[in-house]
Structures are given as C-alpha cells and as structure tokens.
Amino acid sequence: MNLSDLEGVGPVRLETLRAVGIVSLRDLLFTLPVRYEDHHTEFPCSVKTPGNILVNGVFQDAPKTAFFHGISRVTGTICDGSGKLPVCWFNEPWMAKTIKAGEPVRLYGRLNIKNGRRTLQNPKIVTDSGWIPVYKALKGFPAKSFRNLIEQALENLEDCCPETLPSSFRMQNHLCELNFALREAHFPGSMMNLEIARRRLAFERIMIYLLYVSLAGKVRSRAVPMHFSAGAEETYWQSLPFEPTAGQRKVLGDIAGDLQEDHAMARLVQGDVGSGKTAVAFGAIALAKEAGFQSSMMAPTEILASQHYLNARQTLEPLGIRCRLLTGSTKAKERREILKELAEGSCDAVFGTHALISKDVVYGKLGLVITDEQHRFGVKQRTALQDKGASEDETSPHVLVMSATPIPRSLALILYGDLDISVIRELPKGRQAVKTRIVPEAKREDMYGFLLKEAGKGRQAYIVCPAVEDSETSDELRSAKAVYSSLKESRLKDLRIGLTWGGQKSAEKEQVLQDYRDGKYDLLVSTTVIEVGINNPNATVMVIENAERFGLSQLHQLRGRVGRGSEESWCFLLSEHSEKLDILCKSNDGFVISQKDLELRGPGDLMGTRQSGDGISLFAGDARLLEEVSDAVKKLRRDPAQAETLEALNLYATSYFADNGHMIALN
C-alpha cells in the first residue's frame, strides 16, 4: 500500500508529505506525536495550578464578544460544583455562538495565572476521551485529518513496518515488539504503555546510531602532517597578555600532537562560558601558520564571527598572521579581494559564517578547519567546510570543533563518537562567579533600584526576553519591544536604553551592539540573540524575563554574558521559585548544570538532535537510557555467542543510515 492509496491524500497533499520526508507508510508511522493531550482527567473549575487542563461545566450566561484593534475577544465563565473559572478566546468569534448558556461542555486549554487572576485561554471543545496525539503542524493537514491518515496506516502496520530487532535481543533488553510500540506511541491506551513504546523506539534509534558511528568512526581521513618547531606552543602563549590556565595548555598540547599526525584531527573542545576556548583555537591557528597552512573558523552568527575576527586581529596579526572576515554582509569589492587572497594563500586565517562554504570560496592550502558553537550548524555545513580543504591526493584538513554548551561526558561520547574530546574546566584568573537570584514579580521594583545603582557606578546591564513582540494569545510572556517601551516610563527612564533582536536588520543590530560595547547604552533589551558572541566586560547585571521558559543550559549561557570582567556580577531570574531555577542559583559549573538539564528535559531536547523525516527524537527518554544502550552494545561486542546478532544489527544500522548518514555528526 502506498501513501497515495490513503483516503484523503490527493496530489497536493502527497507533495506536501514528500516535502517533509514522508514518502512511504513507514515514514508516516514513524512521524510520531510531539505531545499528547489528556482528554480523560478532568479538573475542577477551582483549579489553581497553571498548565493544560480539562474542565467540565456549564456557562450560566452566554459568552460576550468584544473587538479592539481588529482583534476579537470572547469572554465568559464556566462553572461547576467547585466554583467558577473565567474563559477567553482570541480571534475565535464563533465561540460566542457555539457555547450555549446552561448546556454542559468540556473544555481543554491552558490555565494561565497572572497577578493572582486565573484565565482559561483559547480552550477547545472536547467530545472524545483518552490520550489524544498532537502532531507537528503540517500545512494543508488539519489535526484531525492527519490523525486519520495515521489510523489508516496502522491498519497496514505489519506489512510496512516488520520487526527490526531479533527476539532474543528484545528479551535480553526488555523491549516490546515494534508493532506494539508504534500503535501505543500514536494512540496510547495508558501512560504506562506509552512509556514502554517510547523506550523501545528510543532504544533502537540510539543503538543503531551508536553502531553506525562506531563503524564510520573506524576510518579517519588522511591528512598532511604539520611540522612546526618544538617551542611553537610556548612562543604563542608568551605572546599573550595573560597566563594560560593548565587546562588551556593541556588542550593545545593535545591539538599540537594531532596536527603532526598523518590522519586528520577530529577533536571537540568543550569549555564552560569564559574558559578560554578561543585562545586555544587561536593557538592552533598559529601552529598551522608556522607549518605553512591556512585556517578557517566558522561561527553561527555574524556577531560571533566579527567578535572572533576582532580578537584575532589583536592576538594573531602581531604574530604575522594575516586575518580576514567573510560574512554575508561583506561588500562585493572586499569579498573579491578576500577570495583572491584565500586562493593565493596570502590570507592565513579567515573568520566568518556559512559564507565560508560558498561555491566561489577556494582555499590555497587549507589545513585547519574550526567550527565554533558546533551544535548550531547543520552537519552538511560543517562537512562542506571540511571538504573545501580536500585535495587531489585525498587528504583532508584537520578538524577542531568547539562548544561553550557543556555536555555531560556520557552524552558527549555518544553524540560525538568519532571525535576525541578535550575539556577545559578552569576559568582564567580574576574571573568571579556570577551571583544568581530568583526575583518574583513583587520584587521587580527593588531590582530596578539595583540596576540604577549599578548604572550610577558606570556599569551596564542586559534584559533578555523570550519573545520579540507581544502575543495576541498570551499575556504571560514579556516581549523585548514591550519591555523596552515600558522601561521608558519606569524609574529607569533616565537610563540610556538600547533594543535588539534576531530579526533586526544586520547593520542595525551590529550598530546597537557596537554602541553597547562602546558604553553608549546603560541597558540593552534583547531576545536571546545575545546568547553567544557578545563580550562586554563592563556588563555586570543580566536580567532574564520569564526565566521559567528557558532551559537550564540556555540560562547558563545567557548568564555567561556578565562576569567577564573583574567586577562583581549578578543574574536575576524573573520568575517564581522552581526546582530548575534553584539549580542555577546554587551552581556556576556548566557541566553540573547540563547534567541537571539532561535529567530534567531529556537529552533529545537538550541537544536538539531530531532526525529529519523520522519524527522521533533520537535521544528521547531520560539520561539513564543512554547508558543502558551503550552497555547493551558493549555486551554484544564482548560475547562471541552474539556475533550473529551483532552482524545483523550492524547491517541494519548501515542500511538505515545509507541515505541519511550525512546527517550524523561525525565532525
């Protein structure tokens, strides 16, 4: 049976499915729900816990409709024996006619609580029961239509999704059958069944990923060994105005050893915010230059690329290393000059964004490729940069990847199975730990008073918001533009306040950030665009609005924008107390925080490792599952009696990734 045989799938919808990688019934069945709605558990109208809820009651009076600025708002009150609950719908005027006074109705939606006021926002009328799957929105497919396709595909489950794991292996590792897993993953009979299903699917994905990475990792690209003087590392360190930490020295030593080998280096350098990874990367560039090779360093944003370039001019150009910056904003004339220098070899190190992998960029003798904030790039982009240095004799450049997002070692070994891992744990001398506090709404004015005192000392601050503009459907989130406007009328109105966000025009954004670095603003209001690449030692206060909306690792990254000088620095989390935020207040160690983030959110969410066309998070489940799978694979390899099973699973892994193996992060 083909997709086109399903009822409701015409030529247009068929193309829509193919565009997102769904080309078979199997692909469709592995497009799993992103979440589930509980249409079984009913809450009383007196409920006071925010979140998604289902209530069953009546409206004593018909809902009323009001319009403002072209937006409709329907309001009413649902009641039951426990009390009343205000309800509102934005831009759904038909609800005023759909809801009948005095008639029982079940509503499912999000309960928001602000300043003690409860509101059930944009709920939908529910007539079914149980755990209802919710899939990622697909243009042209209403939710009910897509669920109907899944139901049809499940009728042919045994034919299109045969079992992939040997029964003996399933029994040893307590895994259910594939057909049970897929049925329960789409339409769970209970939460217990759903957990059993998710464990089976996640276990299999992690296992074949590990097997594939292991097989692919046995082959390292050939490289031309670099030759430099024995004292090259020390010469570089002595050129810097500070004393390197022991961790920095060790990691550069590891890199120096790699560069002298005849196979390409593939090393991940992990370091917490401010640990000095960039200085190590610049040291590698200096070694490559002495050996007669060019280096290329790619960053995910123009801001970060420019920051690296400016630092490189101060650090590397005094050593005779010619540096250039190449981004999407580079003017045509300057771009032509840079391309000419790269091709001739007169440019020793180029810094930039994905512009570095454009077709017209040709390197004369590229020997070292560095990617910063590695997890933010698609694997294709990273591979394309490495391929720029591939030569006719089939040698490749050495590869160094850096990440300021600390990853627990157990997860790092799985995610980057083909990379050698180096970790820098110490912070440079003089750096102070940032003091972190949770600030409830009632204490906002006190915090503003603290900001005024810091500004009076000549210090600067950030205020980071989770959104750019206010949402029509939620009055909970504080947006950057709304906060910027409100500050102009607050007790901070006399401060010089700047505003920036991700979608702002590049030139405008760069100007705002440069003005902030130059001290022309006391306070910068922004979205998470300032998460990486902003270095302003004079900033001592970080304020994060709606802190509960961010993950722990991202909060830690944002906190890392302050405390970059020698002054005492603070991070204020505007939110109520929670287990997650308390962790941040107790620790400044990014590796401890990332381990907690891993436990709270699951590794798939933490790293964003979702396979395209698969619908399932590759690392769904908790951190313990990673170790379970890793142990199972080790047992397979050690036990001669399991040789046949191992061979079968290796073939399965190779076959599975034959078409999309390039999506695996081997570099």
**512-540 average pLDDT score:** 88
pLDDT band (50, 70, 90) for residue 472: very low
More confident residue, 661 or 60: 60
pLDDT at 114: 80
Rounded Cα distance between 398 and 224, Å, is 9
**pTM for the model:** 0.62
Q: Which residue has the tokens 């998460």?
A: 531
Distances (CA, A) of 562 to 312, 401, 403, 436, 636: 22, 24, 18, 11, 48
Position 618 pLDDT exceeds 60: no
Q: What share of the chain is helix, strand, coil (3-state, %, to 5)?
A: 40, 20, 40
Instruction: Please give the pLDDT value at position 523.
Output: 96
Q: Is the confidence at residue 182, as pLDDT, over 90?
A: yes
What is residue 465's predicted lDDT score, i.e. its pLDDT? 92
What is the rounded CA–CA span in Å between residue 338 and residue 349? 11
Task: Average the pLDDT over 106-130 and give the result.
Answer: 91
The token pair at 627 is: 């170790």
- Tell me: pLDDT of 559 over 50: yes
Query: What is the pLDDT confidence band of residue 316, given thresholds at 50, 70 and 90?
Result: very high
**Looking at the predicted structure, is the pLDDT value of residue 249 above 60?**
yes
Lowest mean pLDDT among 333-342, 471-480, 628-637: 471-480
Q: Give the least confident one: 81-90, 214-223, 625-634.
A: 214-223
Of residues 17 and 661, which shows the higher confidence score?
Answer: 17
pLDDT at 613 over 60: no
User: pLDDT tier at 402 (50, 70, 90 boundaries)?
Assistant: confident
For residues 470 and 379, the model is more confident at 470
Mean pLDDT confidence for 119-139: 91
Confidence of residue 599 (pLDDT cuts 50, 70, 90): low
Is the pLDDT at 461 greater than 60? The verdict is: yes
For residue 522, pLDDT beyond 80:
yes
Q: How far is 274 from 563, CA to CA, in rounded Å?
A: 9
- Average of per-residue pLDDT values in the chain: 85
pLDDT score at 331 = 92
Residue pLDDT, tens place only, 4-13 = 889 988 899 9
Closest-CA residue to 535 (of 510, 513, 505, 508): 513
Range 527-537 average pLDDT: 79
Q: What is the phi/psi pair of residue 112, to 5°?
A: -105, 145
Q: For residues 529 and 298, which has the higher predicted lDDT (pLDDT)?
A: 298
pLDDT score of 325: 96
Q: Strands, DSSP E only, in 456-568?
A: 460-464, 497-500, 523-526, 539-544
* pLDDT value at residue 74: 95
| Residue 17 confidence (pLDDT) above 50 | yes
What pLDDT is recorded for position 290?
A: 96
Q: Work out the average pLDDT over 100-116.
A: 91
Is the predicted pLDDT of residue 609 greater than 80, yes or no?
Answer: no
Mean pLDDT of 493-497: 93
Measured CA distances, 22 to 2, 19, 183, 419, 608 (Å) = 11, 7, 18, 32, 20
Report the pLDDT value the prediction gives residue 332, as an integer from 0 to 100. Answer: 93
Going along the chain from its start, the domains and CATH numbers come out as 41-125 (2.40.50.140), 232-424 (3.40.50.300), 435-587 (3.40.50.300)
Per-position b or e across 510-523, b if 16+ CB within 10 A of its CB: bebbeebbeeebbb
Phi-psi region of 538 (alpha: psi -120 to 50; beta: other; left: phi over 0): alpha
Ranges 1-5, 62-66, 473-477, 506-510, most confident? 62-66
pLDDT above 60: residue 475: no
- For the stretch 194-240, pLDDT in tens is 999 999 998 998 888 888 877 765 556 788 899 999 899 999 999 99
Q: Say what percent of the chain tops pLDDT 90.
A: 49
Q: Residue 47 pLDDT more than 90?
A: yes
For the residues of 104-121, what is the DSSP string, one character each?
A: EEEEEEEEEEETTEEEEE
- pLDDT score recorded for residue 359: 85
Name which of 414-428, 558-572, 612-626 the model is least confident about: 612-626
Separation CA 86–CA 75 (nearest Å): 7
pLDDT-based confidence at residue 307 (cuts at 50, 70, 90)? confident
pLDDT attached to residue 660: 56
pLDDT at residue 488, as a whole number: 87
pLDDT of residue 470: 59
Average pLDDT in the 462-467 region? 92
Handedness of CA 473, 474, 475, 479 (dihedral sign): negative
pLDDT higher for 302 or 440? 440
For residue 409, the surrounding DSSP H or E stretch is helix 409-415
Q: What is the 3-state secondary structure (H, E, C) of 492-515?
A: CCCCCEEEECCCCCHHHHHHHHHH
The per-residue pLDDT for 612 is 34
| C-alpha span between 379 and 416 (Å, rounded) | 12
* pLDDT confidence tier of residue 616, bands split at 50, 70 and 90: very low
Q: How confident is the model at residue 340 (pLDDT cuts 50, 70, 90)?
A: very high
